[in-house]
Amino acid sequence: MGVTLTGVILLLSLPAVASAQPSAPTVEWIELLRDPWLRSGVQVATRTNYPPDLRAQARERWEQKLPSTVRASWEFIEIAELQDFSDNPDNPTVADGRITYSSRDGAKRLEADTATGVIRYVMDTQGEWRHGCNLSAAQDGVEPRFCRGKAWNWPHLLLSQSIRDPLRPAQPLRLSEYGPLVFSFRAELVSCEIGRPNPCPAGSWGEQEVGNHCLFYVAFVLKPQSPPAADMQGGSGRCIYALYPAFCSWDGKTHSSPDPWLGGDPAGDAVYWTPNPTGLTIGRQSHVTVDVRSLIREAVSEISRRYQTDLRTEDYAIDEVLMGWEIWGPFRSDLRVRDLSFVAQGREQASSGGGVSRRQTEVSIHEDAFTINGHPTYEGRTWQGHRIEGLLMNSRMVQGIFDDLNPETVERWAYPDTGKWDPERNCREFVAAMPQWRQNGLLCFTINLQGGSPEGYSQEQPWHNSAFTPEGGLRPEYMGRLERILDRADELGMVAILGLFYFGQDQRLKDEAAVILALDNAVDWVLQRGYRNVLIEVNNECNVRYDHAILRPERVHELIERVKSHTRDGRRLPASTSYGGGTIPRENVVTAADFLLLHGNGVSEPQRLAEMVHKTRQVAGYRPMPILVNEDDHFDFDRPLCNMTAAIGQYCSWGFFDPGKNNYRDGYQSVPTNWGINTARKQAFFARLREVAGE
């Protein structure tokens, strides 16, 4: 991956990642934007504080001056008192292939160069009513003409286009029928500075505590396909604005990433914006690419968490895209964008009855090898004389949906930059890192509904990290995070080993009946959403300190069989369980499982790990089936013989376990976790993996 953002991903290399998967289905990228160069012009704003009768007159003038305006795909959204485009009788001007819209004072302009596709936004709100500080308030005892009493009272200049389904032009784009969605553009922030007076006078915004800032963003307007299940004040679910801030500045000079924010707008619709730590820089050209589906998942997940509902991304359609400035206070800016594109990857329905959309990645087992979409993994690959084809190289990444419901311990996981723990940030950063893992040859990761020790290793585990309620129900906020991760894995051609239970947290389930119900709910959840890229690990290290007898070695095979008993449309999920480091699986598990999991913790000699693989194949009940190490805290990747290479030599997949130090730098398990390839140890693993995988 080229560059990652917190929560939203710069997917500059995503198409290359997808094409590198020979087994992925070939699907068409469909351009959704109409007239991205604005050659037909822009329609008069329909959402504005400008009076309707004067707006109608302006529309007539614009269509006379530029007849193509009648069929324009774009329209303005403006909030202005002195600088509304409709209030200037000279608009639009057309000269030398450039269409220009300007305020009367020339301080606000939008120019579209129809020969190059460059769209230029010029804003100087210092000349606005009250210098852009609350357009609805009186100035020197004089009331505003247009904005008096209006709830939207700060300057806006946005371009808007309705988004329609290419197959159903009268309908918005239904998320249930499309795969990846990517919005991209090139931008150059030529200049930006805060004006004077500064700041806005105290009390400028009434009850809103808003300081001077300017915001250039792209937003996607989501409409539900059926009435929302719950009435949520400030975010009813009837309409969601999912917003990506390309530039947010308080001083007019530097981008400052806002925290994730969810609130209601004056109409009662929900507004969500995601963090973006790498926004535009003055004087530098940038290529901005937004993973729209991930952004929308974040928004829907956060609304579900906030209002305790079960909203699903697939229940929404994209009705509109917005792009432009909202400004609070006096700012001068000059921004140019070009190469606007919004593409969708089509995907067929799994059934004509409107079921779950067909997924892109399907893992299968053929004797002792794994396949993805019918092709062996690492197809045709050998390394140093060892067969790599069919292996599933992996890493333990179990904390992707981690949270701590214990108020006495949650402060342990605070991020160093914010001083607080944020499970949604953790998930966003996990998703953002996934393309980089995949580009470096990683096909699989382990994630667990009850996590793992957030300290790497622990005897006592007082924290409360469980996707299950005590009775065995599923917590929506956890499953929302898991959905975002599994969806991204599906898009990238990756496999998830989904662990259900962990010995440090199984006591959170009140009894054996709750354990069984939790398993049933989790497996059904995966099947109902159509995931085909999931392997089930019933529990992590079944022979270590479990409270419930059914999770221990003597009976855990009952739960493996129970996973296998769940089917949907004639298919089921492959299942197994794991044991503590150095332990050979028992006959009951070998007989019941579809694949076998080993752990290399405590196995410091590579030859011993190779011997474990050999002994596993001698256990009664074994038949040709894959063997994976999915947790090993031994490294030495610079040596010819290490645990990783020893496993490969026995045709056994190997999994990296880097416990970490709770410092937001080291490891992939200690919380807060830095999911990037940011340390020498992580880099050494991925370098060796690239060598092995040939990627």
**What is the predicted pLDDT for the residue at 262?**
83
Task: Kindly give, in sequence order, each residue whose CB lies less than 8 Å from that of residue 67, ignoring residues fewer than 6 positions away.
Answer: none
Q: Parallel, antiparallel, or unpaired: how do β-strands 495-502 and 444-448 relate? A: parallel
**What is the predicted pLDDT for the residue at 347?**
53
**Helix 512-528 to helix 556-565 angle, to the nearest 10 degrees?**
30
**Contact, 28 vs 346, CB < 8 A?**
yes
Compute the chain's Rg from CA coordinates.
Answer: 28
Q: Is the pLDDT of residue 162 over 60?
A: yes
Q: Distance between CA 649 and CA 643 in Å, rounded? A: 10
DSSP letter at 27 equals: -
Q: Distance between CA 19 and CA 350 in Å, rounded? A: 23
Mean pLDDT for 277-300 is 88
Residue burial 560-597, b: 16+ Cβ < 10 Å; e: rest: bebbbebebeeeebbbbbbbbbebbbbebbbbbbbbbb
**What is the predicted pLDDT for the residue at 152?**
84
Instruction: State percent of the chain over pLDDT 90.
Output: 71
**What is the predicted pLDDT for the residue at 665?**
97
Q: Which two tokens stand for residue 186?
A: 């090139």
**What is the predicted pLDDT for the residue at 133?**
87
Q: Which residue has the higher pLDDT, 226 or 193?
A: 193
Helical ranges in 504-636 per DSSP H: 512-528, 556-565, 587-592, 606-616
**Contact, 4 vs 433, CB < 8 A?**
yes
Q: Is the pLDDT of residue 11 over 80?
A: no
Q: Distance between CA 218 and CA 155 in Å, rounded? A: 16
Give residue 27's pLDDT band: very low, low, confident or very high (50, 70, 90).
very low
**What is the predicted pLDDT for the residue at 227?**
59
Domains defined for the chain, CATH in brackets: 362-693 (3.20.20.80)
The mean pLDDT of the chain is 88
Q: Is the pLDDT of residue 13 over 80?
A: no
Strands of 19-60 (E only): list them: 29-31, 42-47
3-state secondary structure of 548: coil
Of 38-42, 341-345, 427-431, 442-446, least confident by mean pLDDT is 341-345
Q: Is the peptide bond before 462 cis (omega within 30 degrees of 0)?
A: no
The letter for the amino acid at 220 is F
Q: How far is CA 509 from CA 259, 352, 477, 574, in A?
A: 34, 39, 18, 24
Element (H, E) at 295: helix 292-307
**What is the predicted pLDDT for the residue at 6?**
29
- Express each pLDDT in 227-267 by its tens digit: 554 444 444 447 899 999 999 999 999 998 777 888 877 77
Helical ranges in 108-218 per DSSP H: none
Q: How far is CA 17 from CA 357, 483, 548, in A?
A: 21, 21, 43
Q: Is the pLDDT of residue 8 over 60?
A: no
CA angle 689, 389, 568 (to 5 degrees): 105
On the CB side of 159, CA atoms within 13 Å amount to 25
- Express each pLDDT in 173-214 by its tens digit: 988 788 788 899 999 999 999 987 666 776 676 655 667 889
- Express each pLDDT in 517-571 by its tens digit: 999 999 999 998 999 999 999 999 999 999 999 999 999 999 999 999 999 888 9
Q: Give CA torsion, residues 516, 521, 525, 527, to 10 deg.
A: 50
**What is the predicted pLDDT for the residue at 502?**
97
**Helix 292-307 to helix 423-439 angle, to the nearest 10 degrees?**
160
**What is the predicted pLDDT for the residue at 200?**
76
- Express each pLDDT in 668-684 by its tens digit: 999 999 999 999 999 99
- Express each pLDDT in 596-651 by its tens digit: 999 999 999 999 999 999 999 999 999 999 999 999 999 999 999 999 999 999 99
Q: How far is CA 525 from CA 226, 236, 357, 475, 557, in A?
A: 21, 25, 15, 12, 21
Of 392-401, 409-418, 430-439, 455-464, least confident by mean pLDDT is 455-464
